[in-house]
Amino acid sequence: MSPRLFSHVDDPFLDDPLPREFVLYLRPSGPLQNQLSHFWQQSRVTCGKNKAHNIFPHITLCQFFMCADNKADALCEALQATVQKWRGRFPSPLPLELYTSSNFIGLFVEEQVADVLKQFAADFATEATRKAEVHVEPHKKQLHVTLAYNFPSDHLPSLEKLAKGIEVKLGCDWLVVLFSRDIRFANHETLRVMYPYVPQNDDELELVPGDYVFMSPMDQSSTSEGWVYGTSLATGLSGLLPENYIGLADESDTWIFHGSHSFFSCEPGDKSGKEKGMFDGLLDSRRPDNSNPGDTPAFSLICHPMQVVWCPFFQVLRLGAARQPKRTLFVCRHGERMDVVFGKHWLSLCSDSKGKYVRSNLNMPSSLPLWGGQKDYDMDAPITVFGSTQAQLVGEALLESHSSIDYVYCSPSLRCVQTAQNILKGMQQDAKLKMRVEPGLFEWTKWVSGNSLPAWTSPSDLAAAHFSVDTTYRPLIPVSKLTASESYESYISRSYQVTKDILSDCRTTGNNVLIVAHASSLEACTRQLQGRSPQSAKDFVQVVRKIPYLGFCACEEQGETGTWQLVDPPILPLTHGPNHSFDWRETLLQE
């Protein structure tokens, strides 16, 4: 028996035949979805999480309804048949109007068009009753996309301003999507396990990062301060757990996706979510007819939107066993620079009369690679000892958060190569994972002093100096294609193109990519990836000035649309203060 299945030996719900709750939504894709995702992100950053964040942007077509496991296939067939009837009849574009009140903001569907959508929901209800013998209640209230609700009143101006920035007339393919959830946890708070915890007492719950915990407010009355009582999604077991080991998650993170359909596709059957980059990584699992807990388990990603994959064990195991992480792009600025700390004439501070490298401060490296005329340190400064420490701290944090990195790309600047090397060292991957040096990731060349680019060290020389560099990698944008004093538009275009090419090259062989480059890279490599237009050069500079050494961001691919969105990084931020040079003679011997 596998360790994961063994963990369910004591699960009280293993033989529980409870049906799941299903719901039917319309979900936007395309340009409008990009705008809504941006609103979701910005509203969360600006005002914190509100109730709308528990579920992705959607229009509710029906109330939650029950469906037994052995009827799930028929239910999916009912949805497919209804969509086929409605192809060519779905209203497009869907007119939306912004509405705000003291504690609610939403986009409402124009009434006549809403009546058409309700007729589709009614047709699905009829078909679901006929094929799956379930009762579906179409949504009778005004159809709308909820943007925010149940928020503090002082957040209204900020949220309203963000909502007014949504261009509701943008193109959109509305997808009809079917989800289900575990009925036992419908009124529970969903929490994500952040750190591992091994129980110290019999009444405590083991925590595994990546698992989810369901917590009911009703169960918290007898818990001690700093502890909560919850139930694990992966094992079905309940117990006490330390509150600071978990974080808020969205309710829909634990839902099961059963398929999506476009009203505008003319194909006989929609492509699978995986083929279209939609809902990538979600597992659908259930029990077949006459199955029992002794049957052999089967797990699989969705192959077709309406082909449900089964698991003969029980409902709780679904996401814990085979859910694959979304693709994530991490972008990180390099560590502290020698020329910034010690000034532009730093080279004269660490060279003796014979031209040998001499360390004159504890924050200077004990040695530098390729010293002695072979390295253009004047134009390509290394990082300090503290810069190396910063980078290693980030790597250690990534290791502790159980974040995996499949590929590392870095700018050819030595400070970026050194930073990437130390991050890998902190992750204990420096002997296994090789960096790909990509000139296309270099910063805006307008910021380089003089009329020429630095003479960067070649990958082969870096490898000879014991850097973990992939010497077989062929750059997407070779050094010969870079020009000094390029325009802002050229830099933004270059950064966006090289990022897209990197993600495209890594698509089939890895989930997570780390780019180690410059302060400007955090903005230039992610903004257009999210479907957002570039800022003006002036605003861009203001953003870049706020990004510290080892500034770190995460951009996650949205499986249902193929677009990307900034999300909370898996590690804490790294903050440090300025530390001026200390000369004990000048300070302590003053009269």
First CA to last CA distance, the chain: 78
The 3-state DSSP class for residue 482 equals coil
Residue of 261, 334, 415, 527 marked catalytic = 334
Catalytic residue among 8, 27, 184, 518: 518
Active site residue 58: no
Q: Which amino acid is at 135?
A: H
DSSP codes joined into one string, 74-88: HHHHHHHHHHHHHTT
Contact predicate 111/130, CB 8 Å:
no
Does the annotation count 53 as an active-site position?
no
**273, 308 Cβ separation under 8 angstroms:** no
Do residues 212 and 193 lie in contact, with contact meaning Cβ atoms separated by under 8 Å? Answer: yes
Name residue 44's beta-bridge partners: none
User: Is 188 designated active site?
Assistant: no
Sign (positive/negative) of CA torsion 33, 38, 43, 48?
positive
Residues in the chain, overall count: 591
Bond into 93 cis (ω within 30): yes
DSSP secondary structure string for all residues of 288-335: -TT--TTSPP---B-SBTTB----SS-GGGHHHHHPPPPPEEEEEE--
Please count the helices (runs of H) and the strands (runs of E) in the chain: 16, 19
Active site residue: 333, 337, 436, 527, which one? 333
Q: What is the DSSP string of 536-557?
A: PHHHHHHHHHT--TT-EEEEEE
Catalytic center residues: 333-334, 518
